[in-house]
Structure 1
């Protein structure tokens, strides 16, 4: 894995911020899992009935952890297993998504349109033949991401932060793109509540970097409150 730069402003934020952020993460994720447990059970059954394969899709993701080194707080690269409800056929070939991600990062609109099968402004793989019938509905309402509350409890993710990157995505990053990895990844973030699936990749990265450079508790809470509204509006959902 490409090493992350160590010295960052976000790593030096006060300990009180990180402690409060962790408390909000744990309490918020625990309450979300408790209150959504009937829905989680229904979705799990729905996934099993709809297609063969496991209930959950487990995928390695790239994250970061804050460590103490020589009297300084630094960000160190890490990998973790990200949990989602399975929305694709079992053992789906990742080649299609890899090609799409490459075209997106390179801003190759012609290749994007070819992969999408039509001209579109959507910055998301819309017509994915690997997606199951149930998977389309789960993705439409972002319900496939509910198991990531377990990632938050485990400390792999936060409620708010840049979305965790896929390793083959990071391999294509330009050096400045790596800045979006300089904090703990999150379930939702500034990009999701301002330009979900409408911003190109570079703009998405700029929004993630803007969050990291201005990261504070007030911003986290505003993003958390805005997220359910964006989900209900189905902003950028397909």
Structure 2
């Protein structure tokens, strides 16, 4: 049931959001010259997949977790996209292709070994990663691996259709702070 809702909402989001996606893409061309950011992340079953987002940092920014990146690397457009969470819109493509869900644990990088260990212990990689979830709406990010893994597991154990929509609605209403940058 959740997968059907994922596909329906992602398709609607891409179709109806296309004008917004196009405007951000064009502005991004002027901002960084490369508006899309593609990065290999850990997916379901710990398999790699290519996550697509709008670029919010300069092109030469090191590929590390957001909380380890410098705030100085965030572009003006990137700051707006992060605050409004519009940088996540291209991930609707990842949802449509089945690499992600709208709701699930945020996908991490393969170099985040401590988080991988914590999530592995709790079976978090048994589900598709998501654009948002319980941790995100409670401002829990990857800088606290144990708490994040525990919160992800709690979300997985209690994921019902009403909770699924609650997490999406809370995200759309601006709850949570997004990924912290130092």
> Per the shorter chain, which TM-score range?
0.7 to 0.9
**1:185 maps onto 2:129 in alignment:** yes
Instruction: Tell me if the contact between 2:41 and 2:50 (Cα under 8 Å) persists in the aligned partners.
Output: yes
The corresponding residue for 1:219 is 163
Instruction: Tell me if the contact between 2:118 and 2:145 (Cα under 8 Å) persists in the aligned partners.
Output: no
| Alpha-carbon separation, structure 2, partners of 1:198 and 1:78 | 19
The corresponding residue for 2:61 is 92
The TM-score normalised by the length of structure 1 is: 0.67
Q: CA RMSD in A?
A: 2.3
**1:173 maps onto 2:118 in alignment:** no
Instruction: Tell me if the contact between 1:63 and 1:181 (Cα under 8 Å) persists in the aligned partners.
Output: yes
The corresponding residue for 1:11 is none
Displacement of 1:83 in angstroms is 0.0
Q: 1:135 to 1:40 in 2, by over 3 A?
A: same
Runs of 4+ displaced beyond 6 Å:
none
Moved more, 212-221 or 173-182: 173-182
Displacement of 1:202 in angstroms is 2.1
Aligned residue among 46, 57, 63 for 2:37: 57
| Alpha-carbon separation, structure 2, partners of 1:207 and 1:218 | 18
**1:24 maps onto 2:23 in alignment:** no
| Alpha-carbon separation, structure 1, partners of 2:16 and 2:29 | 22
| Alpha-carbon separation, structure 1, partners of 2:69 and 2:61 | 16
Aligned length: 177
The corresponding residue for 1:236 is 177
1:119-176 Cα shifts (integer Å, max 9, x gaps) = xxxxx4585222212111111111111100000000000011000111111x233744
Instruction: Tell me if the contact between 1:198 and 1:236 (Cα under 8 Å) persists in the aligned partners.
Output: no
Flag structure 1 segments of 5+ consecutive residues without an equivalent.
1-19, 65-75, 102-123
| Alpha-carbon separation, structure 2, partners of 1:83 and 1:198 | 19
1:174-220 Cα shifts (integer Å, max 9, x gaps) = 74432332211011111112234598332222110111222332321
Moved more, 172-181 or 129-138: 172-181
The TM-score normalised by the length of structure 2 is: 0.85
Larger radius of gyration: 1
**1:135 maps onto 2:78 in alignment:** yes
Instruction: Tell me if the contact between 2:135 and 2:152 (Cα under 8 Å) persists in the aligned partners.
Output: yes
The corresponding residue for 1:194 is 138
